[in-house]
Structure 1
Amino acid sequence: MLDIQYIRQNADTLQEIANKKHIQISIAELLEQHQLRSHTLQEIEQLRQQRNTLTRGISEQIRTSADTAEEMKQRVRDINVQLQKLEQQASQVLEKYDALMAIVPNTVSPDTPDGESDEDNVLLRQIGMPPVFTFPARDHIELGELHDMIDTARGVKVSGSRHYYLKGNGVLLHRAVQQLAFDLLMGKGYTPLEVPLMVRGSALHHTAFFPLGMDQTFRIGQEDHWLTGTSEVALVSYYQNEIIDLAEGPIRLAAASQSFRSEVGSAGRDVRGLYRVHQFAKVEQVVLCEANPEVSERIHQEITANAEELLQLLELPYQVVAVCVGDMSQKTYKQYDIETWMPGRQAYGETHSSSNLHDFQARRANIRYRTEAGELRFCHTLNNTAVASPRILIPLLENHQQEDGSIYIPAALRPYMNGMELLAAPPVTIN
């Protein structure tokens, strides 16, 4: 969230950002509600003061003038009626004001590209070359079925569309890429956490996944419990309503967790395979740092480099794009996406997203720190996917396939794969 005074001073700019981020909000209406809220609360306070003054004077008037005391009592009753109406009105105004404040977009960095959708994202760099196959290449589902390690048919049978089973070496690869990413972050000073997968709605509001992302989130029955789509929610919320200590530098957190997304709005898109599924695993990196744009920009480059290092260890070709304002979420100040080459799609597909939120998230979650001068300030928060699986298995299998159907295992993964250098092609069965 943003400070209301900042919103007032930058109303036109924020309305333009909201329009480009496809957020349906009127900043002018928000400011009107804020003014009405302030005026109503002021009236309520004045009436309460009048009532208190009258109440204190009644006992004195009882001793001197019963008629005056009765008049004062009637005035108190009248004020109570007015207060009841005003308090109801204030409650309605506050509810509307809070609802509008909850969807005000974050500002965007000066170097964020303009644009309406992911088609307007700007290529920053490409690392590695897509493989040129001299044979008919298989996609990840064909390879998974050939090696008996991906079974989408039974996943659909048991759980419905966008579900799957991983088997045998598919499970080993799934766990191996996560552990490689986890170990990479541990080596860079990240504190590992095992986090809740089910959180209260307040945690999702505090981290700005609600209310606009509510349709993407699975709810547990009628309770106020929701399955998270990323451990970012739990990692940031770990410090909600706290004053953190940044005296020794940024706080770096990492978690490996299951994640869940309803994928509302994606009907008919990426139905085949593992690209867009309801349940997946992520290793997430979250950093909390001082409210210094230069510091958070440096960390943004750092967390992006961590994900790039992981892809280089997996020996996969990828590209980094600067995400345009129209493809960014409400909470994001600046974002990079990393897209990995997927031969089966004949295109780069998003595998990582790296975001700098400045203090937008910390304000909602009320996470502050003390400056050297002792001033309390909201910190900056950043997040990035270190790896998400099974999506990463798509380029891993497809790029490293061999003509005979075998699959090369990158050297960095071999310690997590019992030393295997190759997933050998199954023997051909002749009927």
Structure 2
Amino acid sequence: MIDLRLLRDTPDAVRTSQTLRGDDPSLVDTALALDERRRAAQTDFERLRAEQKSLGKEVAQAKGEEKAALLARAKGLAEQVKALGADADAAAAELDAVLWRISNVVHDGVPAGGEDDYVVLKHVGTPRDLAAEYGPDFRVRDHLELGELLGAIDTERGAKVSGARFYYLTGIGARLELALLNAAMDRASAAGFTPMITPTLVKPEIMRGTGFLGAHADEIYRLEADDLYLVGTSEVALAGYHADEILDLQGGPVRYAGWSACYRREAGSYGKDTRGIIRVHQFHKVEMFVYASADESRAEHERLLALEEEMLGLVEVPYRVIDTAAGDLGSSAARKYDCEAWLPSQQRWLELTSTSDCTTFQARRLGVRERTATGETRAAATLNGTLGTTRWIVAILENHQQADGSVRVPEGLRPYLGGLDVLRPAGA
């Protein structure tokens, strides 16, 4: 939720942020008008309530006609107090509803525009020239063909059992995912993150608090009979972990690494990435999540990005880092960096990680506060970042493929695969 003091003190900054996102800037003026109405009603309510209490003492001491007159006045005053209280409550409820519709204020320098208006910050590594390596007649295999050759991916039976966009990881495919996620957990632990296995079903207030029931609500699976939601990332469960708590962040940020299954409906993606396991309904992911002081969030964001890049270096895929445009940010993020790996079969970049600085936006919704050195409390900042997910298998298989259909195992993953250095086609 947007900070009401920020809204009052710098409304132009919030309007600008809304415009950069492609959201409605008039919500700022609506919120300010409701805030003024609420405060005026509250002031009048408190003034008349004090007068009502004072009058009550006079009534207790009065007699006869004086008492009757005071009682009549008290009755009228009570009706006024009740009406003002109701108006203040109504304005507060309306204000709250509008505040929940205003997205987080984007950081200075975030690119304006939508999905295609990102800024490339850097490239790391060089895509292989497979034709130069294996000859001009070499045909690049995509991850699904490679996965089927290796006996690692089975989408046909996934569709038979569960429908489109489901799959089985079999044999070395299952081992490869476990190797990748265990490597991610090891990196996170070494960096001071507490490993967590998180719930994948959460209450509506937790899902709403993290900002996922806004524009992207149609991506989420809901179990109506239980009024629970399936998470699309362990960020949701980790954000709710300290809901309505006061944290001690004097010693530095509190960091978690959550491993969970994730579920996404992929609404609106009809016809996109239907082949293989790029865009699926269920996958596994290791997600970093941080609670930090508000003044530390930007530095912590850079740290999360560095850890993601370290993990990408481990699997040896060429990638680029982009600064996501304001219109492509989730409502909670003030800035988001994506790391995209090169996909040889499609000659394009494929998102593997993202990391977001949500400042105090989520924490304010979820009631997560920190106690300062002076003993006061204020909203904490939250950040998140992907450290490994099933989709990485796509980039690993395609970027490390060899002429005979085998796949070289990146050196960083070999210890997690019993020293295996090459994945060979089934039966080879």
TM-score, normalized by length of structure 2?
0.90
> Which residue of the partner structure matches residue 221 of structure 1?
224
Q: Is it true that 1:146 corresponds to 2:126 in the alignment?
A: no
> Which residue of the partner structure matches residue 404 of structure 1?
404
User: Which of residues 98, 101, 105 is equivalent to 1:100?
Assistant: 98
Q: How does 1:150-299 map to 2 (within 5 A)?
A: 150-292=153-295, 295-299=296-300
Change (3 A) 1:216 1:80: farther
**Per-residue deviation at 1:32?**
0.8
Change (3 A) 1:19 1:158: farther
**Per-residue deviation at 1:84?**
4.9
Q: CA–CA distance in 1 between the matches of 2:24 and 2:180?
A: 39
Q: CA–CA distance in 1 between the matches of 2:299 and 2:54?
A: 58
> Which residue of the partner structure matches residue 393 of structure 2?
393
Contact 1:103 1:212 in 2 (8 A): no
Unaligned runs of 5+ in 2: 132-137
**Per-residue deviation at 1:70?**
4.5
Q: Which amino acid aligns with 1:359?
A: T
**SS of the counterpart of 1:162?**
coil
Contact 2:188 2:257 in 1 (8 A): yes
Q: How does 1:312-391 map to 2 (within 5 A)?
A: 312-389=313-390, 391=391
User: Which of residues 118, 126, 129 is equivalent to 2:126?
Assistant: 129
Contact 2:39 2:88 in 1 (8 A): no
Contact 1:217 1:226 in 2 (8 A): yes
Moved more, 139-148 or 17-26: 17-26
Q: Is it true that 1:305 corresponds to 2:306 in the alignment?
A: yes
**SS of the counterpart of 2:123?**
strand
Q: Which amino acid aligns with 1:48?
A: R
**Per-residue deviation at 1:83?**
4.8
Q: CA–CA distance in 2 between the matches of 1:32 and 1:43?
A: 17
Change (3 A) 1:23 1:367: same
> Which residue of the partner structure matches residue 15 of structure 1?
15
Q: CA–CA distance in 2 between the matches of 1:162 and 1:212?
A: 22
**SS of the counterpart of 1:196?**
coil
TM-score, normalized by length of structure 1?
0.90
Contact 2:304 2:355 in 1 (8 A): yes
Q: Which amino acid aligns with 1:139?
A: D
**Per-residue deviation at 1:47?**
4.0
Q: CA–CA distance in 2 between the matches of 1:110 and 1:244?
A: 28
1:54-88 CA-partner distances (Å, limit 9, x unpaired): 44444444xx21x5545544444444544555444
Moved more, 362-371 or 297-306: 362-371
Identity %: 36
**SS of the counterpart of 2:197?**
coil
Change (3 A) 1:395 1:31: same
> Which residue of the partner structure matches residue 134 of structure 2?
none
Change (3 A) 1:158 1:427: closer
Q: CA–CA distance in 2 between the matches of 1:160 and 1:74?
A: 72
The number of equivalent residue pairs is 421
Q: Which amino acid aligns with 2:173?
A: G
Q: Which amino acid aligns with 1:393?
A: I
Change (3 A) 1:303 1:53: same
> Which residue of the partner structure matches residue 417 of structure 2?
417
Change (3 A) 1:272 1:70: farther
Q: CA–CA distance in 1 between the matches of 2:87 and 2:155?
A: 54
Contact 1:23 1:103 in 2 (8 A): no
Q: Which amino acid aligns with 2:407?
A: I
Change (3 A) 1:58 1:307: same
Q: Which amino acid aligns with 1:110?
A: D
Unaligned runs of 5+ in 1: none
Change (3 A) 1:86 1:153: farther
